[in-house]
Chain A
Amino acid sequence: DIQMTQSPSTLSASVGDRVTITCRASQSISSWLAWYQQKPGKAPKLLIYTTSSLQSGVPSRFSGSGSGTEFTLTISSLQPDDFATYYCQQYYGSWTFGQGTKVEIK
Protein backbone atom coordinates (compact mmCIF):
# COMPACT_ATOMS: atom_id res chain seq x y z
CA ASP A 1 0.00 0.00 0.00
CA ILE A 2 1.03 3.59 -0.60
CA GLN A 3 1.92 5.29 2.68
CA MET A 4 0.87 8.90 3.24
CA THR A 5 2.69 11.03 5.80
CA GLN A 6 1.37 14.39 6.92
CA SER A 7 3.22 17.12 8.77
CA PRO A 8 2.83 18.59 11.21
CA SER A 9 0.57 16.36 13.31
CA THR A 10 -0.66 19.40 15.25
CA LEU A 11 -0.55 23.03 14.26
CA SER A 12 -1.35 25.97 16.53
CA ALA A 13 -2.44 29.09 14.69
CA SER A 14 -4.44 32.28 15.05
CA VAL A 15 -7.33 33.64 13.05
CA GLY A 16 -5.93 35.35 9.98
CA ASP A 17 -2.78 33.23 9.82
CA ARG A 18 -1.61 31.56 6.63
CA VAL A 19 -1.46 27.83 7.28
CA THR A 20 0.30 25.13 5.25
CA ILE A 21 -0.01 21.38 5.73
CA THR A 22 2.30 18.98 3.91
CA CYS A 23 1.54 15.48 2.71
CA ARG A 24 4.15 13.09 1.35
CA ALA A 25 3.48 9.85 -0.53
CA SER A 26 5.75 6.81 -0.36
CA GLN A 27 5.70 6.61 -4.17
CA SER A 28 4.53 8.81 -6.98
CA ILE A 29 0.76 9.25 -7.08
CA SER A 30 0.76 11.74 -9.97
CA SER A 31 -1.96 14.24 -9.01
CA TRP A 32 -4.38 11.74 -7.49
CA LEU A 33 -4.69 13.42 -4.12
CA ALA A 34 -7.60 14.78 -2.12
CA TRP A 35 -7.89 16.78 1.09
CA TYR A 36 -10.65 16.42 3.69
CA GLN A 37 -11.67 18.45 6.72
CA GLN A 38 -13.15 16.70 9.74
CA LYS A 39 -14.69 18.32 12.78
CA PRO A 40 -15.36 16.40 16.02
CA GLY A 41 -18.35 14.09 15.71
CA LYS A 42 -18.79 14.86 12.02
CA ALA A 43 -18.07 13.07 8.78
CA PRO A 44 -15.11 14.17 6.68
CA LYS A 45 -15.85 16.89 4.14
CA LEU A 46 -14.11 17.01 0.77
CA LEU A 47 -12.16 20.22 0.24
CA ILE A 48 -9.89 19.56 -2.73
CA TYR A 49 -9.54 16.77 -5.29
CA THR A 50 -6.94 15.99 -7.92
CA THR A 51 -4.38 18.01 -5.96
CA SER A 52 -5.73 21.48 -6.66
CA SER A 53 -9.39 21.39 -7.74
CA LEU A 54 -11.65 23.11 -5.23
CA GLN A 55 -14.82 21.19 -4.36
CA SER A 56 -18.00 23.15 -5.01
CA GLY A 57 -18.98 25.32 -2.07
CA VAL A 58 -15.53 25.30 -0.45
CA PRO A 59 -14.16 28.78 0.28
CA SER A 60 -11.40 30.03 -1.99
CA ARG A 61 -9.04 30.53 0.96
CA PHE A 62 -8.35 26.78 0.64
CA SER A 63 -5.88 25.76 -2.06
CA GLY A 64 -3.81 22.72 -2.92
CA SER A 65 -0.62 22.15 -4.87
CA GLY A 66 2.03 19.56 -5.63
CA SER A 67 2.59 16.49 -7.75
CA GLY A 68 4.35 13.16 -7.58
CA THR A 69 5.12 12.64 -3.91
CA GLU A 70 4.91 16.09 -2.29
CA PHE A 71 1.66 17.98 -1.76
CA THR A 72 0.45 20.93 0.28
CA LEU A 73 -2.85 22.28 1.53
CA THR A 74 -2.83 26.01 2.21
CA ILE A 75 -5.39 28.08 4.06
CA SER A 76 -4.64 31.66 3.10
CA SER A 77 -6.32 33.35 6.07
CA LEU A 78 -7.46 31.03 8.85
CA GLN A 79 -11.07 31.53 9.94
CA PRO A 80 -12.77 30.38 13.16
CA ASP A 81 -14.65 27.69 11.22
CA ASP A 82 -11.36 26.20 9.98
CA PHE A 83 -10.20 24.77 13.31
CA ALA A 84 -10.47 21.06 12.57
CA THR A 85 -8.45 18.01 11.56
CA TYR A 86 -7.29 17.74 7.96
CA TYR A 87 -6.50 14.53 6.10
CA CYS A 88 -4.83 13.93 2.78
CA GLN A 89 -5.84 10.87 0.77
CA GLN A 90 -4.30 9.28 -2.29
CA TYR A 91 -6.43 7.50 -4.86
CA TYR A 92 -3.72 6.40 -7.26
CA GLY A 93 -4.01 2.94 -5.70
CA SER A 94 -6.22 1.54 -2.96
CA TRP A 95 -7.22 4.58 -0.92
CA THR A 96 -4.90 5.48 1.93
CA PHE A 97 -4.93 8.49 4.19
CA GLY A 98 -2.42 10.57 6.05
CA GLN A 99 -2.58 10.39 9.83
CA GLY A 100 -4.21 13.80 10.05
CA THR A 101 -3.20 17.33 11.05
CA LYS A 102 -5.11 18.98 13.87
CA VAL A 103 -5.34 22.75 13.50
CA GLU A 104 -5.76 24.27 16.95
CA ILE A 105 -6.35 27.76 18.23
CA LYS A 106 -3.12 29.39 19.36
Chain B
Amino acid sequence: EVQLLESGGGLVQPGGSLRLSCAASGFSFGYYAMAWLRQAPGKGLEWVSGIVSGDITHYRDSVKGRFIISRDNSKNTLYLQMNALRAEDTALYYCARAIAVAEKHYSDYWGQGTLVTVSS
Protein backbone atom coordinates (compact mmCIF):
# COMPACT_ATOMS: atom_id res chain seq x y z
CA GLU B 1 0.00 0.00 0.00
CA VAL B 2 1.35 3.41 -1.00
CA GLN B 3 1.81 5.65 2.03
CA LEU B 4 3.09 9.21 2.21
CA LEU B 5 3.55 10.83 5.61
CA GLU B 6 4.40 14.50 5.82
CA SER B 7 5.94 16.18 8.85
CA GLY B 8 7.76 19.35 9.83
CA GLY B 9 4.99 21.89 9.64
CA GLY B 10 4.33 24.46 12.32
CA LEU B 11 4.07 28.12 13.23
CA VAL B 12 6.88 30.33 11.95
CA GLN B 13 7.40 34.08 11.79
CA PRO B 14 7.59 35.90 8.46
CA GLY B 15 11.11 35.59 7.10
CA GLY B 16 11.68 32.32 8.93
CA SER B 17 12.46 28.84 7.66
CA LEU B 18 10.98 25.37 7.88
CA ARG B 19 11.95 22.00 6.46
CA LEU B 20 9.17 19.64 5.51
CA SER B 21 9.70 15.92 5.14
CA CYS B 22 7.64 13.25 3.43
CA ALA B 23 8.34 9.63 4.32
CA ALA B 24 7.29 7.26 1.56
CA SER B 25 6.54 3.56 1.79
CA GLY B 26 4.84 0.83 -0.18
CA PHE B 27 6.55 1.56 -3.51
CA SER B 28 10.01 1.91 -5.07
CA PHE B 29 10.50 5.56 -4.13
CA GLY B 30 13.60 6.18 -6.24
CA TYR B 31 11.79 5.32 -9.48
CA TYR B 32 9.11 7.98 -9.13
CA ALA B 33 8.91 11.71 -9.57
CA MET B 34 7.52 13.46 -6.50
CA ALA B 35 5.85 16.77 -5.85
CA TRP B 36 4.80 19.21 -3.16
CA LEU B 37 1.42 20.89 -3.38
CA ARG B 38 -0.42 23.17 -0.98
CA GLN B 39 -3.87 24.31 -0.04
CA ALA B 40 -4.44 27.56 1.83
CA PRO B 41 -7.24 27.39 4.42
CA GLY B 42 -10.59 27.23 2.62
CA LYS B 43 -8.93 27.60 -0.78
CA GLY B 44 -8.08 25.45 -3.78
CA LEU B 45 -5.08 23.34 -4.70
CA GLU B 46 -1.76 24.75 -5.85
CA TRP B 47 1.34 23.01 -7.14
CA VAL B 48 4.54 24.17 -5.40
CA SER B 49 7.48 22.10 -6.64
CA GLY B 50 8.43 18.83 -8.30
CA ILE B 51 11.46 16.58 -8.58
CA VAL B 52 11.98 13.77 -11.06
CA SER B 53 14.09 10.70 -10.47
CA GLY B 54 17.09 12.33 -12.15
CA ASP B 55 16.97 15.17 -9.62
CA ILE B 56 15.58 17.61 -12.13
CA THR B 57 13.61 20.17 -10.14
CA HIS B 58 10.81 22.61 -10.91
CA TYR B 59 9.21 25.41 -8.87
CA ARG B 60 6.26 27.73 -9.15
CA ASP B 61 7.38 31.30 -9.70
CA SER B 62 6.29 32.57 -6.28
CA VAL B 63 8.64 30.18 -4.44
CA LYS B 64 11.65 30.23 -6.79
CA GLY B 65 14.79 31.25 -4.91
CA ARG B 66 13.11 30.61 -1.53
CA PHE B 67 12.15 26.90 -1.56
CA ILE B 68 14.36 23.92 -2.34
CA ILE B 69 13.01 20.46 -3.08
CA SER B 70 15.26 17.46 -2.58
CA ARG B 71 15.10 13.75 -2.00
CA ASP B 72 17.07 11.03 -0.27
CA ASN B 73 16.31 7.80 -2.07
CA SER B 74 18.24 5.78 0.53
CA LYS B 75 15.78 7.02 3.16
CA ASN B 76 12.68 7.02 0.92
CA THR B 77 12.14 10.64 1.91
CA LEU B 78 11.20 13.82 0.08
CA TYR B 79 12.03 17.25 1.50
CA LEU B 80 11.02 20.84 1.05
CA GLN B 81 13.29 23.47 2.54
CA MET B 82 11.31 26.68 2.85
CA ASN B 83 13.16 29.94 3.48
CA ALA B 84 12.08 33.57 3.64
CA LEU B 85 8.56 32.50 4.43
CA ARG B 86 5.68 34.87 3.82
CA ALA B 87 2.14 35.05 5.15
CA GLU B 88 0.88 33.89 1.76
CA ASP B 89 2.79 30.61 2.17
CA THR B 90 0.38 29.64 4.95
CA ALA B 91 -1.23 26.39 3.83
CA LEU B 92 -1.57 22.67 4.28
CA TYR B 93 1.36 21.18 2.39
CA TYR B 94 0.89 17.83 0.68
CA CYS B 95 3.46 15.57 -0.87
CA ALA B 96 2.37 13.49 -3.83
CA ARG B 97 3.72 10.68 -5.98
CA ALA B 98 3.81 11.43 -9.68
CA ILE B 99 3.22 8.99 -12.50
CA ALA B 100 5.11 9.51 -15.77
CA VAL B 101 3.21 9.25 -19.05
CA ALA B 102 5.05 10.27 -22.22
CA GLU B 103 7.20 12.87 -20.42
CA LYS B 104 4.18 14.26 -18.59
CA HIS B 105 3.40 13.57 -14.95
CA TYR B 106 0.21 13.41 -12.92
CA SER B 107 -0.18 12.67 -9.22
CA ASP B 108 -1.88 9.46 -8.10
CA TYR B 109 -1.30 9.40 -4.33
CA TRP B 110 -1.20 12.24 -1.84
CA GLY B 111 -0.26 12.30 1.82
CA GLN B 112 -2.51 13.77 4.49
CA GLY B 113 -0.56 17.01 4.67
CA THR B 114 1.32 19.10 7.21
CA LEU B 115 0.17 22.59 8.18
CA VAL B 116 2.47 25.58 7.78
CA THR B 117 1.37 28.83 9.40
CA VAL B 118 3.39 31.99 8.79
CA SER B 119 2.44 34.65 11.26
CA SER B 120 3.97 37.05 13.76
Contact = CB atoms under 8 A, between A and B. Distances in A.
Interface string A90-106: 01101111111000000
Contacts, number: 52
A46 B45 CA distance: 13
- B: contact size bracket: 20 to 34
B47 interface: yes
B47 A43 contact: no
Contacts of A38: 45
B67 interface: no
Contacts of A92: 104
Given A43-B112, A43-B113, A87 B106 contact: no
B100 to A, nearest CB: 10
Nearest to A43: B110
Interface string A29-50: 0001010101000111110011
A96 B108 contact: no
Interface string B100-120: 010011111111110000000
A89 interface: yes
B113 A34 contact: no
Contacts of A46: 106-109
A65 interface: no
A43 B46 contact: no
Best-buried of A34, A94, A95 by chain B (most CB within 10 Å): A95
A99 B94 contact: no
B44 A100 contact: yes
Interface of A: 32, 34, 36, 38, 42-46, 49-50, 55, 87, 89, 91-92, 94-100
10 contacts: A43-B113, A46-B107, A46-B108, A49-B101, A49-B106, A49-B108, A50-B101, A91-B105, A95-B35, A95-B37
